Amino acid sequence: MARLPYRDREDLPPEHQDLLKRNINLYRMLVHSPNALRRFSGLGQYIRFDSKLDPRLRELAILQVGWLTRSKYEFSHHVRIGRDFGVGDDDIRAMIAETEGRPSALEPLAKAVLRAAREMTTGLAASDETFAELAAALPAEHLTDLVVTIGFYNAVVRILETMQIDVEDDYRKYLDEFPLPTG
């Protein structure tokens, strides 16, 4: 159960009602600080719609962060979003296999992206080896956007879990499809 009440559009002054165009629980929580939400969503919008990083790679990295942190909200939302950007169920199963140290059919760049997301999530930074592999395969702008994406979503999961933001009913089915590990 959320640690603060969710806010609805009608709870807000007119100048902030636009913040809940996307009526998801994360925004309904963060709108307690409208200016923070405005900046937060600005970076999220850049990552999703303006970054030149391949969207499938981006979504795999975000899914990896959600999987590792066992963030039901983040993972369920990005199973759905990832599908819109070319992430298939086989990709998700491969991400799980890679996380568990099992082989997968993912291409080397996707494996390096997942490894960077794991290293940044569990150990703060991507290793020199992983960074070099990514730098050899990606232009500097794309590599920077990847690092920003992984860092941003590591922040997002910490906000979600600290505020105990609930998964909306429409997203629960994705957790049934791909249950997060327990323990």
Q: What is the pLDDT of residues 104-162, one digit of tens each?
A: 999 999 999 999 999 999 999 999 999 999 999 999 999 999 999 999 999 999 999 99
- When the pLDDT of each residue in the chain is averaged and rounded to a whole number, the result is 97
Residue 69 has pLDDT above 80, yes or no: yes
CA–CA distances in Å: residue 163 to residues 7, 32, 73, 141, 156: 14, 12, 12, 33, 11
- Domain boundaries, given as residue ranges, for the chain: 20-177
Strands (DSSP E) found in 4-132: none
Question: Percent of the chain beyond pLDDT 90?
Answer: 99
pLDDT for residue 121:
98
pLDDT digits (tens, 9 = 90+) for 70-90: 999 999 999 999 999 999 999
**Residue 183 in this model has a pLDDT that exceeds 90:** no
Taking residue 169's Cβ as centre, other Cβ atoms within 10 Å add up to 7
Torsion sign (Cα): 166, 172, 176, 179: negative
Smallest CA-to-CA distance from 60 within 104, 28, 27 is with 104
Q: Please tell me the CATH code under which domain 20-177 is placed.
A: 1.20.1290.10
Q: What is the pLDDT of residue 25?
A: 98
Q: What is the pTM of this model?
A: 0.97
Tell me the CA distances in angstroms from 23 to 2, 6, 60, one per residue in order.
16, 10, 24
Structure tokens given for 142:
């794309």
Q: What are phi and psi of 126, to 5 degrees?
A: -70, 145
Tell me whether residue 121 is exposed, middle or buried, using C-beta atoms within 10 angstroms of its C-beta: 0 to 12, 13 to 18, 19 or more. Answer: buried
Whole-number percent of the chain with pLDDT over 70:
100
User: 12 vs 183, which has greater pLDDT?
Assistant: 12
